[in-house]
Amino acid sequence: MSKVLTSGSWVKINSETRRRVRLFCFPYAGGGSSAYFSWMSAISPDIEVCPVQLPGREDRLSEAPFTYIEPLVEELAQALTPHLAVPFALYGHSLGALISFELARHLRRQNGPAPMHLFVSGCPAPQLPATDAPISQLPDEEFIQALRRFNGTPDTVLQDADLMQVLLPLLRADFALYEHYTYVPEEPLACPISACGGLQDFRTTRAAVEAWRLQTSHKFMMRMYAGDHFFIHTKRKVFVQGIRQDMIIRDEKSST
């Protein structure tokens, strides 16, 4: 079995890999790197899945989570840059989509390495005005009720008072990241963007996914899948296949 090393506790890199592309995966609100462990053997022999672990969750539970994207992206860039000497792509779901998008723009502003592809899912395009009411400061019961609408946290967890006392600070911080986010216009990214959504996702409509088109001067691809906000789990096999196909398309175009 290949040895997996933890670098700076932010990302897991396989020290023995010879794959052609690294795919850095950013979690949704309340999620951790384990959400992407099943992708490692499912996506492609040529793509190394590198789940990113943010502070405040799983094996970084004791660390304070971020509540603003700007400082988070700055630290991410410092942690990941040593691993960006090979071709790489960025992927994020929901909150992770905003983080990966802003990381790509931060790297560009710093004249750093550029991703060969940006994949986003379950997230309206960043230039669109927010439509969700703020929830991060709601009383516990109202906050938990709001979480139920996203259908991403099992009821068994939401009903476990002791567990929720552990998770609530992280969940509140992650939703604060959304609520504090302010989009600043910049030139579109030069890499292709693939944007995906769930057909039954109440907060990310087809039009909101389509609007990501304005964030790239390169090729734009969109896919909609049956399912709600967390279609990436219920439709994991076909969703991961779509990522693999788009990466192959990019690789073929870059070699001609």
For the question of residue 15 being annotated catalytic, the response is no
Chain-centre distance for alpha carbon 19 = 21
Q: Are 2 and 17 in contact (CB under 8 A)?
A: yes
Query: Rounded mean pLDDT of 122-148?
Result: 91
Confidence grade of residue 255 (pLDDT, cut at 50, 70, 90): very low
Query: Rounded mean pLDDT of 152-169?
Result: 82
Running DSSP on this structure, what letter comes out for residue 41? T
Q: What is the pTM of this model?
A: 0.90
Measured from the Cβ of residue 222, the count of other Cβ atoms closer than 10 Å reads: 15
**Residue reference for tokens 């020290």:** 15
Residue 98 phi/psi, 5° resolution? Answer: -65, -40
Whole-number pLDDT of residue 120: 98
Q: Are 168 and 140 in contact (CB under 8 A)?
A: yes
For residue 249, pLDDT beyond 80:
no
**Residue reference for tokens 């990522």:** 243
> Residues 94, 100, 121, 136: which is the catalytic one?
94
Q: Are 11 and 78 in contact (CB under 8 A)?
A: no
For residue 154, pLDDT beyond 80:
no
Read off the pLDDT of residues 97-107 as tens digits, 9 standing for 90 and up.
999 999 999 99
The whole-angstrom separation of Cα 225 and Cα 6 is 33
Q: What does each C-alpha distance from 121 to 140, 157, 162, 228 come to in angstroms?
A: 28, 24, 31, 12
Question: Domain 4-126+182-254 is classified in which CATH homologous superfamily?
Answer: Alpha/Beta hydrolase fold, catalytic domain (3.40.50.1820)
Whole-number pLDDT of residue 17: 60
Read off the pLDDT of residues 81-102 as tens digits, 9 standing for 90 and up.
999 999 999 999 999 999 999 9
Read off the pLDDT of residues 218-232 as tens digits, 9 standing for 90 and up.
999 999 999 988 899
Read off the pLDDT of residues 7-30 as tens digits, 9 standing for 90 and up.
347 887 765 566 789 999 999 998
What are the beta bridge partners of residue 195? Answer: 120, 222
Q: Which residues, other chains included, contact 102 with Cβ-Cβ below 8 Å and sequence gap of 6+?
A: 69, 70, 73, 126
Q: Which residues, other chains included, contact 50 with Cβ-Cβ below 8 Å and sequence gap of 6+?
A: 11, 12, 13, 22, 23, 24, 25, 83
